[in-house]
Amino acid sequence: MSVQPIRLFGDPILTTKADPVVDFDAELRRLVADLTDTMQDAPGTGLAAPQIGVGLRVFTYHVEGDLGHLVNPELTLSADEQFGPEGCLSIPGLTFDCRRALSVVARGFNMYGDPVVIEGSELLARALQHETDHLDGILFVDRLDTATRKQAMKAIREADWTGLGGPPRLKVSPHPTNGFGL
């Protein structure tokens, strides 16, 4: 399988809800392998299919030595919460404190269509919630409180990977403008 480019903040696929997987075939197994290879190469604790440009409800995770994947996840969240640092491979180099459920039960399928139940707390719970959010078109910065979100958006605009930082670049037309424009 192969390492794929990771889509960055601003790519429309990251804010689009992914479609459920209906075919548990060789193509899905190849996608899971690509997600795993890409996540481990990054390295990251999780990676969702939209982050490599595939609009399907699949993600991989690698937390505290536990490597796995989940297809068509559904989460049951605990009432207890955790508050701590969170980052994203699609928003490289930036972390912000984010509130999440302390524990989670995730139900879905493996790449062969067999039912899977994953119970996790703390970091695994955070990863399962974060990756499932990706499948719903939600980025972790969407979950930040107002002040922290403003800080995050400023940091994103100033990041060298966005191309959004610094003053706007003006392009001057090489053609005569007849007094219109610059």
E-strand ranges in the chain read 46-48, 58-63, 66-77, 81-88, 91-101, 103-109, 115-121
Neighbours of 133 (CB within 10 A): 19
pLDDT for the residue 111: 97
- Which pLDDT belongs to residue 179? 52
**Residue matched to tokens 């269509």:** 113
Give me the pLDDT at residue 171, please. 45
96 token code pair: 């912000």
Catalytic pick among 86, 122, 131, 158 = 131
pLDDT for the residue numbered 160: 86
- The fourth-level CATH superfamily of domain 12-158 is Peptide deformylase (3.90.45.10)
Average pLDDT score, the chain: 90
Give me the pLDDT at residue 51, please.
Answer: 97
Whether 90 contacts 52, CB under 8 Å: no
End-to-end CA distance of the chain: 50
The answer to which of 75-84, 110-119, 162-171 has the lowest mean pLDDT is: 162-171
pLDDT of 103 > 80? The answer is: yes
Is 131 one of the catalytic residues?
Answer: yes
